[in-house]
Structure formats: structure tokens, C-alpha cells
Amino acid sequence: MTYDFSSENLVEVVEGVVAELAAVVRERGIDVRVSAPAAPLFAWCDAVRTGQVVRNLLGNALKFTPRGRSVLIDLDETPLPAFPDTADFVPAARITVTDDGVGIPPGELEIVFDKFVQSSKTKSGAGGTGLGLAICREIVIQQSGQIWAEHAPGGGARFVVVLPVKPVDAGSVPPRAEPLRATG
């Protein structure tokens, strides 16, 4: 894939995807909320590719969340490790997609990003090839970011994408990490 990197406002990227999927949201009867800072939240990324990631994560959340439940997309700032095995961090922006769906079983949080793999809980005929999350991970890594899955409190799944605010050396950010917590 080719990338066109620039400083992009992630709030606009996310809101564009939510608007694009509005008909699906209405049809599925799911409440989709976006929680974002009032000011723009910039990341060094390709807006089209990042939109593809958000579209896939939101599409999955809609697919596996029952009617009448909700999906929350939260945008905020967070630190990102500058280099593997160091305590140095670079400013970054985080997109978190949390659903009230079926969730991901313990032990499957990492393998859902492998090609042609789907969570055992999602093999219910909802469709898909098991490529979407693998493609998401590749896009995020190519943008020097990180992506991972978590269990959402009270059930459901949470997918987290962290992208640097400014360009970083290619390959310096580890592709996977434990969830990062903002330090202040």
C-alpha cells in the first residue's frame, strides 16, 4: 500500500466515517457516540488509510453489537513508546472503539489480528473473512502506530489505535504493546 502522510485531524476522520455509516447505524438500531476534545486532535498519518481502519473497527462493532446497545468512539491524547524497551515516549493520539457486543474470549485478543482468523465468539454467521483486523494492524504499523484489543468493562470489546502526532523513525515504535495509560 502507498501512504500519503500529513498532519491529519482525527476528529474529522472519525466523524467522516461515522457519517458514512449512519444508514447502517440506524438500520442496526445501535447508538454510536463520539467523544472527542473540542480542539482538533492531530496525528501524523494517511487520512484515507486511517479512515479505513476506523471504518473496519466501527463496522465490526456494529456487526457484533445487538440492537439497542451502544458503541463509543473516544479520541484523546496519550504517550507512545519512542523506541522498543525504553522509557522515552512521543506525543500521540488515541482512537478507542468500545462496543456492547459479544466480546472476545480470553486468549484470543492477539490472534484476532492474524490473517483469516476470527474470534470463536464471532463465528456466528455474521460474515467476514478474517482479514479486516490484519489489514488494520498493517496500516497502523506502517504509520508507526500501535493497535490492540481489550475486554471492555461489563462485556464487549475495545479496540485501541495509537498514532504519533509527528513523524517518527520507521520501525522504531514496537508494533504491539500492552495498553498504554496516559501519564498526566
Does residue 148 sit within a domain?
Answer: yes
Mean pLDDT for the stretch of residues 21-44:
96
Which of 180, 113, 179, 171 is CA-nearest to residue 142? 171
In whole angstroms, what is the distance from residue 161 CA to residue 53 CA?
9
CATH number, domain with residue 34? 3.30.565.10
In angstroms, what CA-CA distances link 153 with 75, 98, 130, 157?
Answer: 18, 9, 25, 9
In whole angstroms, what is the distance from residue 11 CA to residue 8 CA?
9
Does residue 127 sit within a domain?
Answer: yes
- Domain of 16, in residue numbers: 6-164
In angstroms, what CA-CA distances link 181 with 79, 81, 166?
Answer: 8, 11, 19
pLDDT at 176 over 50: no
Does residue 103 sit within a domain?
Answer: yes
In one-letter notation, the amino acid at residue 149 is A
Domain count, the chain: 1
pLDDT tens-digit map of 70-95: 999 999 999 887 766 667 888 999 99
Question: What angle do helix axes 47-64 and 10-20 make, rounded to 10 degrees?
Answer: 50
Does residue 137 sit within a domain?
Answer: yes
Question: Could you tell me the pTM of the whole model?
Answer: 0.85
What pLDDT is stored for residue 170 in this prediction? 54
Does residue 170 sit within a domain?
Answer: no
> Rounded mean pLDDT of the chain?
85
Which burial class, exposed, middle or buried, applies to 61 when counting CB atoms under 10 A from its CB (0-12, 13-18, 19+)?
buried
Does residue 173 sit within a domain?
Answer: no
Mean pLDDT for the stretch of residues 129-157:
90
Does residue 27 sit within a domain?
Answer: yes
What band does 102 get if pLDDT is binned at 50, 70 and 90?
confident
Does residue 169 sit within a domain?
Answer: no
